[in-house]
Amino acid sequence: MPTFVYMTSCDGCGECVDICPSDIMHIDPHHRRAYNIEPHFCWECYSCVKACPQNAIDVRGYSEFAPLGHSVRVLREEEKFTISWKIKFRDGREKNFVSPIRTTPWGSIKSASDYEAPSQEALNSQELAHEPDGLNIDELPALSRDQLKLGVV
Amino acid sequence: MLTSNPFAELAVFLPPIAMQVYIILMIVAVVIGTVWDMLHKSSGQYFTQRQEKAKAAATTELSGADKASLAIRTIAVDVATAGEFCNVQRRISHVLMFYGFIFYLVMTIVMVFSYPTNATPTPAMIPLLWNIGVIMLLIGGYWFFLFLRVNVAKDGQAVFRLVPADLFIVTLLGSASFAFIWEIVQTTGNLAATKIVFGLYILFTTLLFGSVRWSKLAHMFFKPVVAFQRRVEEASGASSLPAPAPSSERS
């Protein structure tokens, strides 16, 4: 189910624009508020829903199984490390869920731009950026040449 | 310069009554623009529906004292200190612009109506507050315009690529900037240059107050009402948001 923005609650901070992996959260040129430019391309990861400090982004159900009258609302509480979901069905039933959103302090994860640019040697290596340090291990497991066999074993 | 009334010097080429009529016309323009905007967007109708919906969904009835307390909190947090902004820089910039604009506006009205010429000496505090207001407005405004606009900071748009949402900030900055430049130019005694810069000041000020229907100037009136309504909904249990989590889920 794709996301949408309550324009009256959005304060135009741009957190959703930063976090959207599909790059479909953009800023409306008339009101300078966020909006989902293409719900069909939404991965439904809900990163924007969880990232919005104003609780201004919600989930729009597909009409086939979530017809008019339903609502899905989200409350993020950074200080409690929780995200709460309130699902309201068309017949009035309600379901409430509380989940831990993360286990480390808010803002403690470094963004890509906080890391140093990789050297040419690092770019030529088989490892991905910041491996193995970023994985908190000394070395990535790898097969040695003598462990490799030709053909089907 | 900071403590002299720039509007009193205008009498050299503009009768005081002209500036007074202009201000009244601008007030009328703001009223018309706000009403037009409300009718066009049906925001009054939408707000009434929201109020009725919230009343029906309320689980507790709020007393008059509760509502008064919410109103005070709305004024103290949402209006006076721009509490809705989660970004600290935007909050500071907005507070600078908000108070700067109020000083700029109120002191302009006081000087034009109460001290229109040098025949009635202006207390130094009034032009000083006008200048402080203009400077606050320029600091907060240019900070916002150059660095904090979300379409520039987060959406990667060029700083000088203007969009309809920029109408308010551009006309506001144009008005304050040319007001300040006009005041400086006027002290040099060059009448031709003064007239040109004053003309630009009037042009941007007219655009600012005449474009309310298309700009976001009217948010000064709408925002506090909506913020109060949101607080009422939260307090009466009518908010559609989930209830706060009982305790920390962190392991």
The domain of B130 spans: 8-52+86-235
Among residues B207, B192, B21, B243, the alpha carbon closest in space to that of B112 is found at B21
Please identify every residue of A annotated as catalytic: 43
pTM of the model: 0.83
**Stretch B211-231: mean pLDDT, rounded?**
90
- What residue segments make up the domains of chain A, in order of their start? 3-100
What CA–CA distance (Å, rounded) separates B83 from B87? 10
Does B59 reside within a domain?
A: no
Q: Establish if B249 touches chain A: CB-CB under 8 angstroms.
A: yes
Distances (CA, A) of B200 to B16, B28, B209: 19, 21, 14
Does B1 reside within a domain?
A: no
Does B243 reside within a domain?
A: no
Where residue B189 sits, what CATH number does that domain have?
A: 1.20.950
Distances (CA, A) of A106 to A78, A97, B187, B247: 7, 21, 53, 17
Count of structural domains, chain B: 1
pLDDT-derived band at B195, boundaries 50, 70, 90: very high
Answer whether A100 sits within 8 Å of B251, measured CB to CB. Answer: yes
**Stretch A72-77: mean pLDDT, rounded?**
86
Distances (CA, A) of B102 to B30, B99, B108, B171: 15, 5, 10, 16
**Stretch B17-37: mean pLDDT, rounded?**
95
Does B180 reside within a domain?
A: yes
Answer whether A14 sits within 8 Å of B244, measured CB to CB. Answer: no
Q: Establish if B63 touches chain A: CB-CB under 8 angstroms.
A: no
Select the residue from B93, B250, B251 to test the A interface by mutation, using most A Cβ atoms within 10 A: B250
The beta-carbon neighbor of B245 closest among A32, A34, A82 is A82
pLDDT-derived band at B147, boundaries 50, 70, 90: very high
Q: Establish if B164 touches chain A: CB-CB under 8 angstroms.
A: yes
**Stretch B196-218: mean pLDDT, rounded?**
94
Contacts of B150 in chain A (CB under 8 A): 12-14, 17, 27, 32, 34
Does B65 reside within a domain?
A: no
Q: Kindly give the pairing relationship between strand A34-36 and strand A57-59.
A: unpaired
Q: Kindly give the pairing relationship between strand A82-88 and strand A71-77.
A: antiparallel
Mean pLDDT lowest among A106-115, B96-105, B182-191, B201-210: A106-115
Q: And the tokens for A46?
A: 């809900």
Does B47 reside within a domain?
A: yes
What's the topology of domain A3-100? Alpha-Beta Plaits (3.30.70)
Does B57 reside within a domain?
A: no
